[in-house]
Amino acid sequence: MDIYIAPLKFSNVLMLGDVVSELSNRFSSKISLIEIQLNLLKYLSKERGQYFSTEIIADAMDLTGKYNGKIILLTDVDLFVPVLTFIFGEAQLSGKHSIVSACRLHEEFYSGKSDDKILFERLIKEILHELGHNYGLLHCLNWDCVMHTSPGIEEVDIKGNSYCKKCASKVDGYKSLYF
Ligand SMILES: [Zn+2]
Ligand SMILES: [Zn+2]
């Protein structure tokens, strides 16, 4: 099954290319970039200064019916769902769509120092995590597994950067070299 990456206000074009190559290495599935037209302002909560991810996903569904595969929305804007202060991403369990925000994966968000290598590692982890939910995976108790829950940046950094064997077996096209 193909995997499509749809940037939505994601400014780092170089990193986008790196994400496509990394996923192409890890999956036998075809990885492609697609363009979708969504005005994110519609999802901005003025009180919170953040964007409501569930509604973004809902509208993206209407625009991506022609694509047969998983669709990852990638954005720089800060995301929320009403019960949480922020989220790194959201996915439909056993569904087609997910969204990942790089906003709070940037090292400068925490220490003020920019670090593209750390950002890339975190981004790949969160993309794999949300994709895992699309493939029906729940959270995993194994800290070496990218499906471990990561409510904060510490957990993102601590957890592994790939699926454990048990989780990987449910992810379509994930190469055994990586687990
Ligand atoms: Zn999760
Ligand atoms: Zn696992």
- Is residue 93 within 8 Å of residue 136, measured between CB atoms? yes
Percent of the chain with pLDDT over 70: 100
At 40-56, the pLDDT tens digits run: 999 999 999 999 999 99
Average pLDDT over all residues of the chain:
97
Could you tell me if residue 144 is inside a domain? yes
The secondary structure element, H or E, covering residue 5 is strand 2-8
Residue 155 clears pLDDT 90, i.e. is over it: yes
- CA of 142 from ligand 2 middle (Å) equals 6
Quick one: which of 38, 25, 154, 136 has its CA closest to 88?
A: 154
d(CA 15, CA 78): 18
Could you tell me if residue 122 is inside a domain? yes
**pTM value surpassing 0.95:** yes
- CA of 91 from ligand 1 middle (Å) equals 8
Over residues 4-12, mean pLDDT: 96
Specify which residues 162 forms β-bridges with: 145
Neighbours of ion ligand 2 (CB under 5 A): 140, 142, 145, 147, 164, 167
- Domain span at residue 70? 2-172
- CA of 118 from ligand 2 middle (Å) equals 22
Dihedral (Cα; 38, 43, 48, 54), 10-degree rounding: -100
Starting from the CA of residue 169, give the closest ligand.
2
- CA of 133 from ligand 1 middle (Å) equals 7
CATH code of residue 164? 3.40.390.10
Q: What are the CA-CA distances from residue 171 to residues 6, 28, 95, 176 (Å)?
A: 20, 11, 13, 11
What domain count does the chain have?
1
Over residues 110-139, mean pLDDT: 97
Could you tell me if residue 146 is inside a domain? yes
Residue 1 clears pLDDT 90, i.e. is over it: no
Could you tell me if residue 179 is inside a domain? no
Starting from the CA of residue 144, give the closest ligand.
2
Catalytic annotation, residues = 130
- CA of 42 from ligand 2 middle (Å) equals 36
Could you tell me if residue 16 is inside a domain? yes
Could you tell me if residue 142 is inside a domain? yes
Query: How would residue 7 be classed by pLDDT, with cut points 50, 70 and 90?
Result: very high
Phi, psi angles (nearest 5°) of residue 145: -100, 140
Could you tell me if residue 177 is inside a domain? no
Residue 35 clears pLDDT 90, i.e. is over it: yes
Residue 3 clears pLDDT 90, i.e. is over it: yes
Could you tell me if residue 178 is inside a domain? no
At 71-118, the pLDDT tens digits run: 999 999 999 999 999 999 999 999 999 999 999 999 999 999 999 999
